[in-house]
Amino acid sequence: MTLTINGKEKTLHEALSVRALVDSLGLGEKRVAVEVNKELVVKQEWASRILREGDHVEVVTFVGGG
């Protein structure tokens, strides 16, 4: 299954939830937010939202800015 995470194609061998993806990136406890196909996925739905073929995922945090 191929999907796009932060603009890069990634192949997954098994279906993952958003929660599992965030955990696999080592971001489980960090202040991050996730969008799938330009729709916000709130934390309460991370476990139930299973990623699908072709999904476009954005995982964001914060950087310096004015």
The contact set with another protein (CB under 8 A) reads 5-8, 25-27, 30-33, 35, 38, 40, 42-43, 58-66
The pairing of beta strand 8-11 with beta strand 2-5: antiparallel
Minimum distance, C-beta of residue 23 to another protein, in the bound complex (Å): 13
Minimum distance, C-beta of residue 52 to another protein, in the bound complex (Å): 20
Minimum distance, C-beta of residue 22 to another protein, in the bound complex (Å): 10
**CB-based burial label for 48 (10 Å; 0-12, 13-18, 19+):** exposed
Nearer to another protein, 14 or 66 (CB): 66
Under 8 Å between Cβ of 29 and 62: no
